[in-house]
Chains A and B, each alone.
Chain A
Amino acid sequence: MTLEADIAATFSADGAEPFVVDAAFEVERGETLTILGPSGSGKTLLLESVAGFHSHDGRVTLDGRPVSDRPPEKRDFGFVFQDYALFPHATVSENVAFGQRYLGSSWWERARELAAGDDRRSRLRALVRDDGRSRRERLRHLARLQREGPDAPDPAQLLEEFGIDDLAERYPPTLSGGERQRVALARALAVEPEVLLLDEPLSSLDVPTRQSLRQDLQDVLADVTAVYVTHNRTTARALSDRIVVMNDGRVVQSGSPEAVFERPASPMVARFTGANCIRLADVPGLRDRLDVSAEYVAIRPEAVGLVDDGDLRGTVERVVREDATSRVTVDAGEARIEALTGSPPAVGADVALQFPRDRLHPVS
């Protein structure tokens, strides 16, 4: 399923300058696209516009079929909200099964029954059998089956898959953040959406929960077409097939995670993805040594080598221990350069930095 979106929308709040979102992206079948950007960059508004929550100009198409003139319920998306937006007055199982009634009455059971049939003829026979459903419902059912095959998920099975079957009769306000996230994900997947839209589903979780859920999400996203909005570069790098970086309502770069992280298109992208972005005018002599004509040069901290004799000398300003490595900030005149290393030097030590030429990326 290919989703193409080209959206232009203006959002105005009382007393504030109107905010314009003007962005385009496309997602191929089975791919996970991440929209990465700082807070206030318009990424959530973009996603919500694609979902149909806000009126907008431009087009949204699914496999070439335009859906932008349809209301949200006809766009065939699933949505996981940042704060999950679970229905507080419904139990977990009612939440998960919420959308399925709009696919036709208990159609997942019918679908399973059909799946057991041998051939298309028996499927059709089962469909036209008078089982108390209206003709319109049966036809809708048939149309859907023809489109994507009879394997809609059973809500009970979804609950089990997400390990939340014991919560089925609980109400969302009594759940923990991680549990809510699973319920929200199950609810979105239960309608078998063509494309799953996710708006920072990990951001309101504590770190250990986030890590375990990120792994679960990785499994889920492997099977579906998804658009994932986040401001967290670690999550973006872990989950995406492709990344679109947004700033101030516009797309500033798109490409594979590797391209975005290694070859940022602008100093803003470089800083936001955690790369060093060195302004060559700040460091005399470096331009000649690196033989770069651009204004800036970007390099990932993990590529910077701490050596005895390198491209640039500086003083260690700060060392922050991370899990297996340490993040070393080196003061080199006007520039602050970060490097990751397993054996960090002492603070105040005089070190030399080595920039591997194949990891250097000129940025103008």
Chain B
Amino acid sequence: MATIEGSWYRSGRLRRGSVAAAFVLAQLVAVAAAYRAGRPTLYAFFLVFSTAATAYAVEHDGGTLLALVRFLVVQAVALGVAVLVERGVALATTGRVEVGFQLWALLLVGFAVPGLLYVLRRTGTWSAGAVGVVGVALLSATGAFVVGGGFEIFLPLWGVGYAVLGAVAVAYTLRGSLFTVATATLGSVLMVALGLPLALFVARQAPSVVVEKALDPNVHRMLYLGIYGPLLAALLSLVCGIPLAHLLERGFTGQALVESLVDLPLVVPHSVAGIIILFGFGRGGAFPSVPVLGTVVGMVLAMTFVSAPYAVNATREAFEAIDDRLAYASRIHGANRWQTFRRVTAPLAVRGIVTGGVLAWARAVSEFGAVAVVAYTVEFFYPLAGESVRAQHAPVFVYNTYLQGGLTESGAVAFLLLGVSAFIFLVVRWLTGDTGGVLG
């Protein structure tokens, strides 16, 4: 937060939105970190510095470093008083809630607001001060609950409130219109709903259980299967999906029917998809000699069924975004259809193709219903052990662990799965970041 530069939010509302978003995210991390450490002062620290950094960002637009110093001084004094109060109250054994409220109300009314207003009056930067006022007010209120013993119950809630109001204040302060403020507020609520459970999920993991699970061979098998199976499904979706997407982009008779069929898995409940797979490819189905129940083949088929629409649609959109004239230019200067696809269309659509593959892969990793029906337990060759083993697809495994071992154990497994998935996702994004010069 401390490295916010004045220039990157100057150019428009989107930039303002990203300041607000970064602010909310930082707050969420702070809530989680403070919760994890059991140290409310940590949160107070963070709050002070983030407010100062925001104020700096706002003020830097007008070119005054002095504003940062002003805010830091005000906030540091507030922080000092906060720490003192916290220590003091910790010594007291009775009447904590009341003491906390009274002290902080006193601090807020008697010191922070008048002090801040004085500084603002002197410098005339009213709009920049809004962040400071809201920050100090919320710091006070949060502190009151914290020292009042309400930490366990109230801090996350206050974190939510602070994150949303902070985003509103930032949007307003960055000279946003009412519309910007409204969109930032509503957007922040959604971000909190998405981000807070995740942040608390990460914060509340017990390290010992995570380590224990990370060393469990069953978990290793689950992770291997949970990456390898979806990878096969994503590859299958792409290998057959790219040509289909290419055809759909060019258009043909009966296209509407094919499109509906491609999108069908999106609306079919996933357990139903599993049943459909069993009818289609199971005993008495299309390939009697290929067993699908409880095999990798069945698992990959189920995953492909639910993930192919993502691969096809993302790829098709990428093809549609390419100007027809580029393909014409390629053809008229000598390249046939395949050469045009290889040298022009596919390189230009590669981002969409990779996005489609990643989406299909992610969808397959998260598939529960269809896989649980078709291949609840899968027998497969596990290279690390050099033999065939039995394991469950990751979501099935997590569900099983939850039923048998409860929230703590399943949480640790889910944490590991989340970490590995996020890592792979980031690696793929990084690898496809540079797509220039692919011609040839």
A interface residues with partner B (beta carbon < 8 Å)? 48, 51-53, 71-73, 75, 77-79, 81, 83, 85-91, 94, 98-103, 171, 187-188, 190-191, 197
Contact = CB atoms under 8 A, between A and B. Distances in A.
B432 interface: no
Given A89-B347, A89-B439, A171-B436, A103 B334 contact: yes
Contacts of A187: 329, 333
A188 B346 CA distance: 22
A258 B440 CA distance: 47
A102 B329 contact: no
Interface in B391-440: 435-440
A188 B332 CA distance: 9
Contact of A48 (B323, B328, B330, B348): B328
B333 A71 contact: no
Contacts of A94: 439-440
A102 B344 CA distance: 14
Contacts of A83: 323, 325
A75 B435 contact: no
Given A83-B325, A85-B326, A87-B344, A78 B332 contact: yes
Contacts of A85: 323, 325-326, 328-329
Contacts of A99: 333-335
Contacts of B332: 51-53, 72-73, 75, 77-79, 197
Contacts of B348: 87-89
B339 interface: yes
Contacts of A188: 333
Residues of A contacting B: mostly: mixed
A102 B339 CA distance: 10
Nearest to B340: A73
B336 interface: yes
B331 interface: yes
Contacts of B328: 48, 51, 53, 72, 79, 81, 85
Output the residue of B329, B344, B438 with the most chain A CB within 10 A: B329
Nearest to A188: B333
Nearest to A101: B334
A51 B334 CA distance: 12
B336 A87 contact: no
A79 B329 contact: yes
B439 A73 contact: no
Interface in B324-364: 325-326, 328-337, 339, 343-344, 347-348
A77 B326 CA distance: 15
Contacts of B344: 87
Nearest to A103: B334
Given A87-B344, A89-B347, A89-B348, A72 B331 contact: yes
B318 to A, nearest CB: 13
Nearest to B339: A102
A97 to B, nearest CB: 10
Contacts of A190: 333
29 contacts: A48-B328, A51-B328, A71-B336, A73-B332, A73-B333, A73-B335, A79-B328, A79-B329, A79-B333, A81-B325, A85-B323, A85-B325, A85-B328, A86-B329, A87-B348, A88-B326, A88-B348, A89-B347, A89-B435, A89-B437, A98-B333, A98-B343, A99-B333, A102-B334, A102-B335, A102-B339, A103-B334, A171-B436, A191-B334
A191 B439 contact: no
A79 B334 CA distance: 11
Contacts of B347: 89
A82 to B, nearest CB: 8
A85 B337 CA distance: 17
A83 B329 CA distance: 11
A89 B330 contact: no
B436 A98 contact: no
Contacts of B335: 73, 98-99, 102
Nearest to B333: A99
A345 to B, nearest CB: 49
Contacts of A89: 347-348, 435-439
Contacts of A197: 332
B320 to A, nearest CB: 15
B440 to A, nearest CB: 7
A73 B438 contact: no
Ranked nearest first, the 9 interchain pairs of A and B with the lowest CB-CB distance are A102-B334, A99-B333, A85-B325, A72-B331, A90-B439, A85-B329, A99-B334, A79-B332, A72-B332
Output the residue of B325, B330, B331, B334 with the most chain A CB within 10 A: B334
A103 B335 CA distance: 10
A300 to B, nearest CB: 36
Contacts of A191: 333-334
Contacts of B436: 89, 171
Contacts of A90: 437, 439
Contacts of A72: 328, 331-332
Nearest to A90: B439
B331 A71 contact: yes
A90 B333 CA distance: 15
B334 A73 contact: yes
A191 to B, nearest CB: 5
Output the residue of A77, A86, A98 with the most chain B CB within 10 A: A98
Interface in B234-265: none
A81 B331 CA distance: 13
A43 to B, nearest CB: 16
A223 B438 CA distance: 35
Nearest to A98: B333
Output the residue of B333, B337, B339, B344 with the most chain A CB within 10 A: B333
A73 B329 contact: no
B437 A91 contact: yes
Given A83-B325, A85-B325, A87-B344, A73 B331 contact: yes
B75 to A, nearest CB: 46
Given A73-B333, A87-B348, A89-B347, 11 more contacts: A51-B332, A52-B332, A53-B331, A71-B336, A72-B331, A79-B332, A83-B323, A85-B328, A99-B335, A187-B333, A190-B333
A81 B439 contact: no
Output the residue of A89, A98, A102, A190 with the most chain B CB within 10 A: A89
A53 B328 CA distance: 7
Contacts of A88: 326, 348
A48 B347 CA distance: 24
B313 to A, nearest CB: 21
Nearest to B323: A85
A53 B330 CA distance: 11
